[in-house]
Amino acid sequence: MKTFENVTVAVEGNSYFEGAVTSRTILFADGSKKTLGFMQPGEYEFGTAAAELMEITSGEIEVKLPGSNEWIKVRGGESFNVPANSKFQVKMNGMVDYCCSYL
């Protein structure tokens, strides 16, 4: 099990798509930030100002990255990168647990 030491956790959660996607923000002493969350089955489009590393910790997701017409499967233990100032689409049939690092 992966753990984070000496962090600050925001009490207020983040909720998107009428609660189908939720997360909590984790702040590190060096100023970096991550979110830990869950996505319920469905299809969603996200926009990001910062570059992101999305690590899927459990479940399976399909992602369509900016500039691509292909859906790529990403399973628990795998990750993908999203460029800054872009949008990406995801879809899944089951629950997905994730960790998003802002780069």
Kindly list the domain boundaries of the chain, sorted by start residue.
7-102
pLDDT higher than 80, residue 38: yes
49-78 pLDDT tens trace: 999 999 999 999 999 999 999 999 999 999
User: What is the pTM assigned to this prediction?
Assistant: 0.91
Percent of the chain with pLDDT over 70: 99
DSSP run (H or E) holding 2: none
For 7-102, which CATH class?
mainly beta
With beta carbons less than 8 A apart as the criterion, state whether 59 and 29 touch.
no
